[in-house]
Structures are given as structure tokens and as C-alpha cells.
């Protein structure tokens, strides 16, 4: 089900230029399925947990258009990606706190993935 839900975002991703970042990538959805379906696009899997990054790095070796960044969204350079996607990043109270921090440090447009529980997009002006 996660793969199917992830692939529903392909059409949305095609409406944006530039690299894609999957914020809070966790197990790799939606980033890994998007990278497979859009091999011409660079996809960054951004995850703050070292344990999860280790898992994601094994997948990244198999996909030439994927890289893993182990860190927090608010620590990343501004304008690094064309579009950001996120799913189940945090509960609504937590995301509202993160949103103001992310707004100042991330400038990629949002992509909401229908069907994912608690989707949370980065929505900032670019």
C-alpha cells in the first residue's frame, strides 16, 4: 500500500522542476518509489535518525539518483530542492512548531500525498 500511495505523487512531482527531498523519510516512502519511477530526478532522503539512515543508505546504493542526508530539515541549506514531500512527519501540534522553523530554512514547494495518514508538507515561498 505504501508503494501505491507513493506513486500517486508522480504526477504532482512532474509539475515541479528540480530535485525532490523526502523529509522524514523513515523507511523510504515516498522517496524510494518516486526515485524508481522518476529516474531522471535526483531524490534526497532526509532523515534525522542514524539507524534509519543506515537502512536508507543500503537502498541508495541500488539507485543512482538517490542520496541520503542524515540530519534535520531545519539544518539544511535553503533552496537545495525543487519540491519537498513528507508523510506522517509528526503529530499536528508538533508540526505546527516545526512549520515555523522549516519555513525559515526550507523554500521548496509542498506536495501533499493523498492517502497517507497525517501528511504534512513544507510550504514556503520560493
Q: How many CA atoms lie within 13 A of 122 on its CB side?
A: 28
What pLDDT, in 10s, does the model give residues 71-119? 998 899 878 899 988 886 655 444 444 444 444 444 455 554 444 433 3
Q: CATH number of 2-111: 3.90.550.10, 3.30.230.10, 3.40.50.720, 3.40.50.150?
A: 3.40.50.150
So what's the pLDDT on residue 123? 38
Rounded distance, CA 22 to CA 124, Å?
Answer: 15
Q: Of 67, 103, 82, nearest to 20 (Cα)?
A: 82
Show me where the domains of the chain are located. 2-111
So what's the pLDDT on residue 108? 52
What pLDDT, in 10s, does the model give residues 15-32? 889 999 999 999 999 999
| Residue 52 pLDDT exceeds 50 | yes
Q: Of 61, 55, 63, nearest to 33 (Cα)?
A: 63
Amino acid at each position: 500500500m505504501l508503494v501505491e500511495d507513493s506513486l500517486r505523487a508522480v504526477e504532482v512531482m512532474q509539475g515541479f522542476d528540480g530535485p525532490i527531498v523526502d523529509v522524514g523519510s523513515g523507511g523510504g516512502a515516498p522517496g524510494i518509489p518516486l526515485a524508481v519511477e522518476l529516474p531522471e530526478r535526483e531524490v534526497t532522503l532526509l532523515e534525522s535518525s542514524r539507524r534509519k539512515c543506515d537502512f536508507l543508505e543500503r537502498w541508495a546504493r541500488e539507485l543512482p539518483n538517490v542520496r541520503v542526508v542524515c540530519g534535520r530539515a531545519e539544518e539544511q541549506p535553503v533552496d537545495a530542492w525543487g519540491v519537498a514531500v513528507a508523510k506522517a512527519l509528526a503529530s499536528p501540534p508538533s508540526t505546527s512548531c516545526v512549520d515555523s522553523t522549516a519555513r525559515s530554512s526550507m523554500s521548496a514547494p509542498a506536495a501533499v500525498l493523498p492517502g497517507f495518514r497525517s501528511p504534512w508538507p513544507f510550504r514556503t515561498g520560493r
